[in-house]
Amino acid sequence: MFSTSKLWAIGLLAAIGVAGFASGAATMNYVGERGGRTGGRCSYSGMLRRDLSLTAAQDDSVRAIMRRHRAEMRAAFETVRPQTDLIRARIRDEIRAVLTPSQQAAFRELTDRERAERARHDSAAPAGRAP
């Protein structure tokens, strides 16, 4: 069976995946309600600028900090991406199981759009840019 440390690691990955999914959904709802960058995505620095009323100098500093850590963030995301993809697939399978056939079709369209948006976003990202 699994050792305690592996169970903790799996639990942590599952929690991160669920939290990421929930925060992404909440952010998309928030951006949709409040407006945002074209394409439905709002940058983290843009959110801070708007929500914290950053000055131009603060905004420049935050953007510089974000640029400085992009490669590091991308590397971290890439190490957990396979695990989060598996968890995401499992979550979708479980959700699909409780839906009616018409809801399953709508859910499939929704996830296809989400996947296409993520692929478009990832392909548009410059090298070294964190998603």
Over residues 59-113, the pLDDT tens digits come to 999 999 999 999 999 999 899 999 999 999 999 999 999 999 999 999 999 999 9
Q: Are 11 and 85 in contact (CB under 8 A)?
A: no
Residue 8 lies in a domain: no
Domain assignment present for residue 77? The answer is yes
Q: Are 47 and 37 in contact (CB under 8 A)?
A: no
**What is the distance, to the nearest Å, from the Cα of residue 49 to the centroid of all Cα atoms in its chain?**
20
Q: Note whether residue 54 is domain-resident.
A: no
pLDDT in tens, 23-55: 666 655 554 444 444 445 578 888 999 999 999
More confident residue, 115 or 126: 115
Q: What pLDDT is attached to residue 126?
A: 56
Does residue 2 sit within a domain? no
Q: Considering the domain boundaries, does residue 4 fall inside one?
A: no
- How far are the Cα atoms of 10, 89, 123 from residue 119, in angstroms, in the given order? 26, 16, 6
pLDDT score, position 93:
94
pLDDT at position 38:
44
Which of residues 39 and 6 earns the better pLDDT score?
6
Q: Is residue 116 part of a domain?
A: yes
Q: Is residue 13 situated within a structural domain?
A: no
Residue 26's pLDDT is 61
Structural domain that includes position 83: 70-131
Which distant-in-sequence residues (6+ apart) come within 8 Å of 125 by Cβ? 131
CA 75 from chain center: how many Å?
15
Q: Classify residue 107: in a domain, yes or no.
A: yes
Please give the share of the chain, as a percent, with pLDDT higher than 70. 76
**Residue 30: closest CA among 40, 17, 15:** 40
Rounded to an integer, what distance in angstroms lies between the CA atom of residue 73 and that of residue 77?
A: 6
As a whole number of angstroms, the distance between CA 30 and CA 102 comes to: 27
Contacts of 37 (CB under 8 A, 6+ apart): 31, 43, 46
Count of structural domains, the chain? 1
**pTM, entire model:** 0.47
Distance CA 111, CA 117 (A): 10
